[in-house]
Structure formats: C-alpha cells, structure tokens
Chains A and B, each alone.
Chain A
Amino acid sequence: MTTPLHSRRQFLQQAALGSALVSYSLPRLAKADIDYRELLPESMTKAGGEFTNYGQPSPYEQQVIRWISANPDMPGNGVSWSPLHELQGTITPNGLHFERHHNGVPAIDPAQHQLLIDGLVDKPLVFSVDALKRYPMQSRICFIECGGNSNSSWRSQPILTAAGYAHGLVSNAEWTGIPVRLLLEEAGIKPEAKWVIAEAADGASLNVSIPLEKLMNDALLALYQNGERLRPENGYPLRLVLPGWEGIVNVKWLRQLRLSNAPAMSRDETAQYTDLMPNGSARQFSFEMASKSLITSPSQGMTLPDKPGIYQVTGLAWSGRGKITRVEVSADGGQTWVDAELQQPILSKAFTRFSLPWKWQGQYAVLQSRATDETGYIQPTREQLLKERGRHGFFHFNAIISWEVSEEGYISHVYPE
C-alpha cells in the first residue's frame, strides 16, 4: 500500500500546480480626474443595507434550501432534506437542519411546557423550562441522522436527486443542554428500571423507548442548537439528543420520561424504524447509526466545467460508534482508493469533512468515498449491504454512494456493477 501523501499525488496525476513565476510591475499613477464610481462595483459607491435583528442568507443563495417531501393529505407528515451538496464545513445551519415530523411542528409556549420524570423513580418530578435553564449545561457537536436516511438507495434504480435531497436526512449541530443523567438522578432511579419511555408534546404524541443506560451515558436534554434556543422544528423548547443514535429516539418537544422495566412497543419502535431482514424477521432497537460517508461535491446533477481540470472532491463522513479514522476516495468505482484529508478536529459521533484534490482528464469516472471508524468498521459497498440485509430493510442504509462522471463532465448517481 502506498502512503497517503504519495497516493494523493497520484490522485492528482501530476497536475501542474501553477508554479511558474508571474512577473509583476507597478501600475502607472492614476490621473487626478478619474471618476471612481464608474470603475468600482456599486457596493463600494453607496451606503449599504441596514442592520437586521435576525440575519438572513444572501438573496443570491436562495436555492440553498431544505427540500420538503410531505404527504399530500397530511402536510405535517414527512421530511425536509438538508442541502448537503450546497454546504461546506461541518456545522449545519439551524434553518437547514433536516426535519422529520409525524404531525407537523407544534407551537409550544415554554411558559406552559413541563417535563415530567416518573415511573420507576423514588420521587416523580416535574420541571419547568425556566428551572431547567438553571442547570449546568454541556455542549456537544454531533450528528443526528434519521433511520430512514438514504432509503431511496434500497430501490432497484438509482435516484437522480441532488446528494442532499437523497442523503440529507442527517445534519450536524452543536447541542447544548443538561446531561439527562442529572435529572434522572435527582428523581432517584429504582433498580428495576431498564428502559425510559420518552414522549413528545406534538400532534402525534410521539413515544419511543430508550435504554436507560444510554440516557445515563451521554444523552443531553438540549435547549440550545448552535448557540441559540432550539428551532421549533427541532424540538423547541426541549429535546433529547442521543449522540450517534437514530433520529427517532432524539425525541423533540419532550414532555415526559417514564422509567420502566420494559419497552413500550410503540408504533415507532415496531411498525417503523425496524429493519426487515431477508428471512422475514426484523431487527428492532437498532439504534446506532453505522459509519457512512458521502461525496457532497462534485455530486449528482453537477457538471465539471474544465477538461482537464482540478476539482476538490469533498464530502462528509460520520459514525454513530465514535470517531472517523479514515476516508478513502476512489475515481474508478472502487478499484483503487486514496486517502482523503480529514478536516480537524475529528469529533466522536460528529460530521468529519474530508477532501481530496482530483485531476480529471476527461475520462469516464465513478467517484466514491468509503469511511472507516475507530471500531475498525468499514463502510460497505451497496452489494455487501444488500447481501447482508436484503432489499427491504428500508432503514439504516449506509453503503457507499457512487457518482458517475461522464466524458462530458455530467455527474449522476449510479449503482456500480
């Protein structure tokens, strides 16, 4: 195996990296009567816009939006996809964090909201939001991924939708809140307690069961998202954040935690968010999101303008089991791989940005990325995943995603042979 540095050079295929010296001479002095207003951009010849109470993106970025896919008869049921193919870095802006709602976004007045902790506890407790704001808080950058992310990839034909609009039911934010453990300990956990049934205050009263151990380990009761209070669509005023675990258990609009000795067997942990296997049985409580990566640029629907040209192949990798240790990129459909550079810091259960300069000579290519996490688990090919899980798993699709580059530079989603 070649060293990463050497391989990276090979990946560039001896691209001439503009090394020639440019000669530079000072311009002649300008005349006194020049009208600079004719020479300078308009933004420099007039006063700018006013201050804003809450800033919005540039009007030139209006195409950078979540893509909504909802049920026509039940508009509050569906998802909105994060435009990962338009974003850089690792933090998803709050207005672009993916959404999955089961019956719309509730409008909750925090002054009326309460959190009840009851069931197998010594003293059932109720907390106001104001009280919770006084607790010591921790911040954690982590991804949340819907268990149904990338589910179109189970289909027999590759979907021709922009990368984020097929794989963007995952986002990454800094969540700030109270370690759930503090609140459970305040209520006093009875030894028989094994599960916690979490319930939301939305129009679906969503309820799911969570192993107590996870809540005691690294769960947060989040009140803040990227520094500001949670957005309504992300659980305002309170949500659970369970780093690395599928979206459904990161319960938004949290109203109750009931400690129990058994799971509730609610609809969203039986009928949905369970993974049907080829033998007809289903995996239940498959909470951890396995290691995955996605090239966000260049990706489906984009074109490469120059041929030959140098392109920054970049994307995101994440694992619900810890840190990403390696991302490899292939331009030949997985026959040869080159290590991409990983942007620091690499955080456990968070997005890791990878990038690799690629010199495209104009040939047919298939771009892929493959992530490895600190447990040694390597992101599988689609073929491997289907072999293990069949064609009807629907949830937890984490296989390698392939972008075909045509000789004309058009990029489209393919399933390689």
Chain B
Amino acid sequence: MSIRNSLLALLLFAAHAYAESEHQALGRDAGELTQQPQWNLTITPDGRGLPVGHGTAAEGKKIFNHQCASCHGFDAIGGSAMPLVGEVGSLTSEYPEKTVNSYWPYATTLFDYIRRSMPPQAPYSLSSHQIYALCAYILSQDGIIEADVELNEVTLPQVTMPNRDGFSATNSH
C-alpha cells in the first residue's frame, strides 16, 4: 500500500472508530425458521401456540402415575418435587401453598411448561394428547374442570384458574 493509501485508511478508521453504528449487519434472513415448530414453543394465555390434540383426566392419571408420580407423588400431592394440586384458597392462610391449582393464573402455562420441561430426563417425549391428558388430570383434581371434560386446543385456554386475578405487575419494591 502506498503511503497515501495507508494514510487514507487510517483517516477513515479514525473517523469511524467510535461510531457504534459502524458495524456490518450480520443477521441472516430467518426465512422459514419462524414458521417451524421448534421455534414456536411458547404458548400464550389466548391459546396461541397450542398444538392440535386432546386428552381426559382418566388418561392423564395413568400417564401421571407412570411418568410423574415418582417425583411429584401419587395424586400429585408432592414428593421430592413440589405438589401440583390441592390447597386452593390457601394463599391468604397462615401456611399458603403455591400449587398449579391454587396459584397458577393460566392453564395454558401448564401445557407450555410440561412440554418444555417434564419429565426432566426426557423433555418433549410426551405427545400432545398425553400433555392435554395430564393437564386434565391435574386440573380436575381440584374440580377446576369436571372429571370427564376433554381438554384440547380450544378448551384449554377457556379454563379459568382460581387465582386468575391474583397477580399484579409491579416493578417497585
């Protein structure tokens, strides 16, 4: 490089050295990715993201005993892992218990969470039908849904949790 050229390069560099915007945009067009199931895992309270499927409490109980009870206890009342049912209405008592049924504001969250995290040794191993069935089993334990109700992508978001209005967004101490 001639002296003139290298001086020019130096000047260019110096002029832009501290401009934060001076970088190359390296994000690639995500294309089809945003449509693919593996990039659409989150399920929102309105039911967006729920897969097609259905299940009942009776089916769910079998799956639960087989796949979940070892940690959450039979009847989901707790083991080495927390209880998932019971204690509805306990939040103002001296010993409040935060279970799915007593505390969670949305039933859709249950589907979302079981699919992504449970059982811990094999997340995503359950089918959508099985997860609807597990939701039905857990929710029916406290009469949040009737024992014979089939949960599916339409009915699950319609479930009203007992503690639906128990939360207030805050960012102050």
Q: Which of B6-14, B59-67, B115-123, B137-145 contacts A (4 or more CB under 8 A)?
A: B115-123
Task: Please indicate which of the listed interface residues B28, B31, B33, B173 has the most CB atoms of chain A within 10 Å of its own CB.
Answer: B173
Which residues of B, 78-97, contact A by the 8 Å Cβ criterion?
Answer: 79-81, 91-92, 96
CB of B27 within 8 A of CB of A74, answer: no
How many B residues have CB within 8 A of the partner chain? 48
Between-chain CB contacts (< 8 Å), 12 pairs: A116-B39, A124-B30, A126-B30, A127-B26, A136-B22, A179-B20, A264-B112, A266-B109, A267-B113, A274-B167, A282-B103, A285-B169
B44 partner residues in chain A, CB cutoff 8 A = 260, 262, 264-265
**Residues in A neighbouring B109, C-beta threshold 8 A:** 265-267, 270-271
> Are B166's CB and A182's CB within 8 A?
no
CA distance A276 to B167 in the complex (A): 9
A276 and B98 within 8 A (CB): yes
Can you name the residue of chain B whose Cβ is closest to the Cβ of A187? B27
| Dominant secondary structure at the B interface | loop
A332 adjacent to chain B (CB < 8 Å): no
A266 CA to B29 CA, complexed, in Å:
28
Q: Is the CB of A73 within 8 A of B70?
A: yes
> Quick one: closest B residue to A185, CB to CB?
B21
Residues of B contacting A264 in the complex (Cβ-Cβ under 8 angstroms): 42-44, 112
Residues of B within 8 A of A127 (CB): 26-28
Chain A residues 246-305 with CB under 8 Å of chain B are 256, 258, 260, 262, 264-267, 270-271, 274, 276, 278-288, 290
Contacts A126-B28, A204-B116, A274-B167 known; A265 to B105 CB distance under 8 Å?
Answer: yes
Determine the residue in chain B with the shortest Cβ distance to A119. B34
Q: Are B27 and A270 in contact (CB under 8 A)?
A: no
Residue in A127, A271, A287, A396 with the greatest tally of chain B CB atoms within 10 Å: A271
A residues contacting B by CB (< 8 A) are 71-74, 76-77, 102-103, 116-118, 123-128, 131-132, 134-136, 179, 182-183, 186-187, 197, 199, 203-207, 256, 258, 260, 262, 264-267, 270-271, 274, 276, 278-288, 290, 377, 392, 396, 398
Residue of chain A at shortest CB distance from B72: A73
| Contact assessment for B112 and A73 in the assembled complex, using a CB-CB cutoff below 8 Å | no
How far is the CB of A203 from the nearest CB of chain B, in Å?
A: 6
B116 with A71: CB separation less than 8 A: no
**Of the candidates B23, B34, B96, B120, which one forms a contact with A118 in the assembled complex, judged by CB atoms under 8 Å apart?**
B34
B29 touches A123 (CB 8 A): yes
Report whether B104 and A271 are in contact in the complex, using a CB–CB cutoff of 8 Å.
Answer: yes
Question: Which B109-161 residues have C-beta < 8 A from chain A?
Answer: 109, 112-113, 116-117, 120, 123
Residue of A nearest to B24 (CB): A134
